[in-house]
Amino acid sequence: MAQPSAKPTPLLKDELDIVIPTIRNLDFLEMWRPFFEPYHLIIVQDGDPSKIIKVPDGFDYELYNRNDINRILGPKASCISFKDSACRCFGYMVSKKKYIFTIDDDCFVAKDPSGKEINALEQHITNLLSPSTPFFFNTLYDPYRDGADFVRGYPFSLREGVPTAVSHGLWLNIPDYDAPTQLVKPLERNTRYVDAVLTIPKGTLFPMCGMNLAFDRELIGPAMYFGLMGDGQPIGRYDDMWAGWCMKVICDHLGWGVKTGLPYIWHSKASNPFVNLKKEYKGIYWQEELIPFFQSAILPKECTTVQKCYLELSKQVKAKLGKVDPYFLKLADAMVTWIEAWDELNPSGGDSTKLPNSTTK
Amino acid sequence: MSQASIKDIEIDIVIGALHSDLTSFMNEWRPVFSRFHLIIVKDPNLKEELQIPEGFNLDIFTKSDIDQVVGTSAALHFSGYSCRYFGYLISRKKYVISIDDDCIPARDNKGVLVDAVAQHISNLTTPATPFFFNTLYDPYRKGADFVRGYPFSLRSGVTCALSCGLWLNLADHDAPTQALKPMLRNSRYVDAVMTVPARALMPVSGINIGFDREVVGPALFPGLRLAGEGKVRWETVEDIWCGMCVKVVCDHLGLGVKSGLPYVWRKEGGDPIESLRKEWEGVKLMEEVVPFFQSVRLPRSAVTAEECVVEMAATVKERLGPLDPVFARAAEAMVEWVKLWKILGAGSSSTRVQET
């Protein structure tokens, strides 16, 4: 039976890092100050490392520019994208915390229909700390929310749920559309506040957006590689998509859940659709091959850790997607480099959560 | 757009009358129902005469009609909540909407009365997207679209065959939940419709549904009947059973199932503790039923809903029959139902569905 949460959501201020990629400035943090100030920030500065990014006073942070990334990773730095917000995954790698919340620097505090400001971080924490239900769809959405529960017909044996690995938030105002949709509907704004959190069922893929995202780094961190994008690469704006598909296949395999829905943030900036089109162009075609690949990807049961799953996926990427474009051969290698780098920087927690006799339904 | 092209004459509203006095029910729904043809099926166990207000275009069917049309069937029982299936059987329309007789129209967050029929029809006449989850929910709704990363080849969607609505006030919880949380009321109006992904199973509640009868009619039937089946929803699982059949059929045929809007307001009623005293038969059965449906595979040769149901009946008999006689009876009911459907269901339901 789902228990209503009587206790307030814990802050987790010593267990959560906020990872922010930026190439411009961090002015947006002022609006988030009431919610973010207790937390440690990891700023990943993309672009020109000689530019000084000013962090507003009062925040506790560490900042990495490209020189730092090169220094820390050496030759393995090749797996971290340049001139693309995909570089944020470097922040995941160097974090020492259990949870990560990542947000874009053009995302602001949204208001719910009553006019109250939304503490997005608190909602993400609630999502991550309560179970997911990927094996059977609950028509009243998240059964662990106040005022909700499992519906009639929901098997009792599935009501404990499974650990939640990822919490995927949404966006009011500028929705996360691709370039063609932006071109056709330049004025469309998302004004619909959908008051729901739900678990994405096992076996179902989705487009994971990195603008407003939280995850259990100890559980799924190594799978959150945002790929090779940006400078020198044939593709952009598919970093989070790639991570999301790899992550979902692995979560499905290991029996963990992925939630989507609340919280909303206010996305203020519409990027240039023509620029986006150039970046996404190849992705739009390649996607048609990628989706069947991920939908049919099978991980052998010997893959009991995230790293093993990820390395197995990289082999399959090389074998099956190499023929789509040589880019995928490079990407497969980068996936391996990423895991090597992850394990180097995270030695003791290297085997992120082995599962004791797990029976994945 | 497509809603304008769906004429009211293509829609039947089927009401299973478990209460004899339908006056307030019909009057509350009058603004929504009065345009349509209604089929009211009186629960054969109900002794009192039905009271129905004037001003509706309707046909009423009672025990004698059911007996005359169906004959005496050992396997099929159109009593209690299952009386509505008789209405599904004899309807001649493309779309059927069915709502329990203890529900009235809900109001949305702005206080506007929800036209549940219009929303079901909108759900059924816009495509479903079962192969990839859209994080902004229904991409065909005004003000929404597919998000970045959604494959273009999947954006035309598939036919939506079933629309599952929700409930404010008394949500559709089972007896244990209701007994443990007697004050639990659903006041959260979630402004979304979404496609339930392929291969994901869900409990389909019969309280508030709409479906494309031409395409999945044969898959909605009175199959699983509990020994202690009673007159409150949490003493039945008939809808849960055929809901899972329908989902498996839809997944196999490449059709979609949507869940979410519309809401109806479900009135208070029943004593869950009283229900707890009866055996938790339904709850126990679900533990067997869910793994079974998750593993059922239908042959490629089954290309209509009827063929799918017949195949499923055989599998139910073979794999679940030995576990509990209630399943063997369900399998028989499914077979009988398809036979009946072929004779009485107007044949329009054997529409061949293109394999995706």
Nearest to B36 by CA among B96, B112, B78: B96
| pLDDT computed for residue B6 by the predictor | 67
| CA-to-CA dists, residue A92 to A19, A208, B314, angstroms | 7, 16, 52
Minimum distance, in Å, between the CA of residue A148 and any CA atom of chain B: 7
Residue range B176-184: mean pLDDT, rounded: 88
B339: buried, middle or exposed (CB in 10 Å: 19+, 13-18, 0-12)?
A: middle
pLDDT band at B48 (very low <50, low <70, confident <90, very high): very high
Please judge whether A204 and B197 are an interchain contact, meaning their C-beta atoms are less than 8 angstroms apart: yes
Q: How distant is the Cα of B254 from the closest Cα of chain A, in angstroms?
A: 15
**Would you give per-residue pLDDT tens digits along chain A (361 residues)?**
455 445 678 789 999 999 999 998 999 999 999 999 999 999 999 999 999 999 999 999 999 999 999 999 999 999 999 988 999 999 999 999 999 999 999 999 999 999 999 999 999 999 999 999 999 999 999 999 988 999 999 999 999 999 999 999 999 999 999 999 999 999 999 999 999 999 999 999 999 999 999 999 999 999 999 999 988 999 999 999 999 999 999 999 999 999 999 999 999 987 899 999 999 999 999 999 999 999 999 999 999 999 999 999 999 999 999 999 999 999 999 999 999 999 999 996 444 444 443 333 3
**Cβ count within 10 A of residue A144:** 24
Identify the DSSP state of A99.
Answer: E
Show residues of chain A in contact with B135, CB under 8 Å. 168, 170, 176, 206-207, 209, 260
Contacts of B143 in chain A (CB under 8 A): 188-192
A to B CB pairs, distance under 8 Å: 180
Q: What is the pLDDT of residues B17-30, one digit of tens each?
A: 999 999 999 999 99
Q: Do A200 and B133 touch (CB under 8 A)?
A: yes
pLDDT of residue B355: 35
Cβ-Cβ contacts under 8 Å, A140 against chain B = 166, 171, 186
Q: Say which DSSP state A219 is in.
A: H
Is B356 a residue whose pLDDT tops 70?
no
Q: Are B50 and B22 in contact (CB under 8 A)?
A: yes
CB atoms within 10 A of CB A7: 5
d(C-alpha B14, C-alpha B206), whole Å: 12
| Binary contact (B133, A284; C-beta < 8 A) | no
Q: How far from chain centre, in Å, is Cα B82?
A: 11
Q: Residue B228: is its pLDDT beyond 80?
A: no
Q: What residues form DSSP beta bridges with B15?
A: B40
Contacts of A62 (CB under 8 A, 6+ apart): A40, A41, A42, A43, A94
Q: Which fold has domain B8-345?
A: Spore Coat Polysaccharide Biosynthesis Protein SpsA; Chain A (3.90.550)
Residue-level pLDDT at A2: 55
3-state secondary structure chain B: CHHHHCCHHHEEEEEEECCCECHHHHHHHHHHHCCCEEEEEECCCCCCCCECCCCCEEEEECHHHHHHHHCCCCCCCCCHHHHHHHHHHHCCCCEEEEECCCEEECECCCCCECCHHHHHHHHHHCCECCCCCCCCCCCCCCCCCCCCCCCHHHCCCECEEEEEEEEEECCCCCHHHHHHCCCCCECCCCCCEEECCCCCCCCCCCCEEEEEHHHHHHHCCCCCCCCCCCCCHHHCCHHHHHHHHHHHHHHHHCCEEEEEEEEEEECCCCCHHHHHHCCCHHHHHHHHHHHHHHHCCCCCCCCCHHHHHHHHHHHHHHHHHHHCHHHHHHHHHHHHHHHHHHHHCCCHHHCCCCCC
- Report the range of poorest mean pLDDT among A283-292, B33-42, B52-61, B69-78: B69-78
What pLDDT is attached to residue A8?
Answer: 77
Distance from the Cα of A242 to chain B's closest Cα (Å) equals 9
Residue B348, pLDDT > 50, answer no
**C-alpha dihedral (B62, B64, B66, B68), degrees to nearest 10:** -150
Residues 6 or more apart whose CB falls under 8 angstroms from that of A18 comprise A36, A39, A40, A41, A42, A100, A101, A102, A103, A121
Average pLDDT for chain B: 89
| Residue B252 scores a pLDDT above 70 | yes
The reported pLDDT for the residue numbered B35 is 93
Task: Tell me which amino acid residue A360 is.
Answer: T
pTM to 2 decimal places? 0.93
**The pLDDT of residue B354 is above 70:** no
Indicate yes or no: CB of A207 within 8 angstroms of CB of B283: no
Q: Which residues of A touch B190 (CB under 8 A)?
A: 141, 194-196
Interface mutation target, options B110, B123, B138, B147, chain A, most CBs of A under 10 Å: B147
User: In the numeric block, which tokens belong to residue A14?
Assistant: 């010593």
List of chain A residues whose C-beta atoms are within 8 Å of the C-beta of residue B199? 201, 203-204
pLDDT at B230 over 70: no
Cα–Cα distance measured from residue A248 to residue A78, given in angstroms and rounded to the nearest whole number: 25
Q: Check: CB of residue B317 under 8 Å from CB of residue B292.
A: no
pLDDT given for residue B214 in this prediction: 94
Instruction: Tell me, rounded to whole angstroms, the distance of Cα A42 from its chain centroid.
Output: 15
What pLDDT sits at residue B70? 85
Strand partners, A61: A41
What local confidence, expressed as pLDDT, does residue B182 receive?
A: 87
Residue B346 backbone class (left: φ over 0; alpha: ψ -120 to 50; beta: rest): left
Residues in chain B, total? 356
Interface probe with B: pick from A146, A151, A277, A359, most Cβ of B within 10 Å:
A151
Residue B174: pLDDT band with limits 50, 70, 90: confident
Q: What chain A residue is nearest to B247 in terms of C-alpha separation? A: A137
Strand partners, A212: A103
- Contact status, residue B262 vs residue B208, Cβ threshold 8 Å: yes
The answer to whether the Cβ–Cβ distance between B171 and A238 falls below 8 Å is: no
CA distances (Å), origin A257, targets A128, A130, A132, A164: 9, 10, 5, 5
Q: Is A204's CB within 8 Å of B132's CB?
A: yes
Contact criterion met (CB below 8 Å) for A237 and A92:
no
* pLDDT for the residue numbered B238: 82
Q: Which residues from chain A sit within 8 angstroms of residue B136, using beta carbons? A: 170, 175, 190
Nearest-neighbour CA in chain B from A185: distance (Å): 10
> Which pLDDT score, from 0 to 100, does residue B229 have?
65
**B297-to-B198, B199, B292 alpha-carbon distances in Å:** 13, 11, 10
pLDDT at B269: 75
Question: For position B5, what pLDDT does the model report?
Answer: 59
State pLDDT tens for residues B120-155.
999 999 999 999 999 999 999 999 999 999 999 999
Asked if pLDDT for residue B280 goes beyond 80, the answer is no
Q: Answer yes or no: are the C-beta atoms of A221 and A92 closer than 8 Å.
A: yes
pLDDT value of position A158 = 95
Of all residues in chain A, the one with the smallest CA distance to B259 is: A139
Indicate the residue of B192, B202, B237 with minimum beta-carbon distance to A194: B192
Contacts of A143 in chain B (CB under 8 A): none
Backbone φ and ψ of B92, nearest 5°: -120, 15
Asked if A109 and A31 touch (Cβ cutoff 8 Å), the reply is: yes
Q: Report how far residue B314's alpha carbon sits from residue B310's, in angstroms, rounded to the nearest whole number.
A: 6
Q: Which amino acid is at B133?
A: F
- Percent pLDDT > 90 in chain B is 72
Chain A nearest CA to B132, separation (Å): 6
Percent of chain B having pLDDT more than 70?
91
Q: Which residue in A has a C-alpha nearest to residue B286's C-alpha?
A: A155
